[in-house]
Amino acid sequence: MRFGRLASAVVFAAVWSAPLFAQASTKKYDWATINGVKEVDVRDGEVVVSQLVFNLGSTLKGTPIRKSSADVRVRIDNNGLSDQQVGVAVVVFDAEGNVVAAGSNGTKWGYLNKGDRTYYKIDFPYVYRRLDQAASFIVTIETQGKGGKTTTTTTTTTTTETKGSASVESEPLPTPTPVP
């Protein structure tokens, strides 16, 4: 019984303290893109969102699903000395401050290795119809460092091409943990 209470207390403390180690940074920019490209500088420590490429997309035709192909491609550089979990959110506003598009993406498996660069594609599948009225946007980056362990990771790179543009995402493969 005593062990159960102690275990519950440890789990409770871990769950509530985990967000304290995560960091976040948000910046707002005017919609002054050049061919959909916007250079930005949103930093959380040594992890940087440095470029966004907006695709206004269109509604997918020929299917019963009314979904947009609008998205933004976000470049993230880990210039730090530790591996990081990274999350990025982009919210686009019109001149009156109404949301015209929103989405997020991030590290799905493992970490963004120190010194690595990756690209996240953030879809705007359903709220997109007024994206042509965009006046400003905010970018939020949230990071959480790897917990002090030194392990070796292997990185895999996947490249896909669509309509003349390349998309590259690089994330580490998980390292197996030995069972005692």
State the pLDDT confidence band at 61, using cuts at 50, 70 and 90.
Answer: low
pTM: 0.67
Task: Name the average pLDDT for the chain.
Answer: 75
Of residues 166, 139, 132, the one with CA closest to residue 26: 139
Regarding predicted confidence, which is higher, 152 or 21? 21
Query: Looking at the predicted structure, is the pLDDT value of residue 77 above 90?
Result: yes
Architecture of domain 21-173: Sandwich (2.60)
What would you report as the CA-atom Rg of the chain, rounded to the nearest whole angstrom? 19
Structure tokens at 99: 């949301």
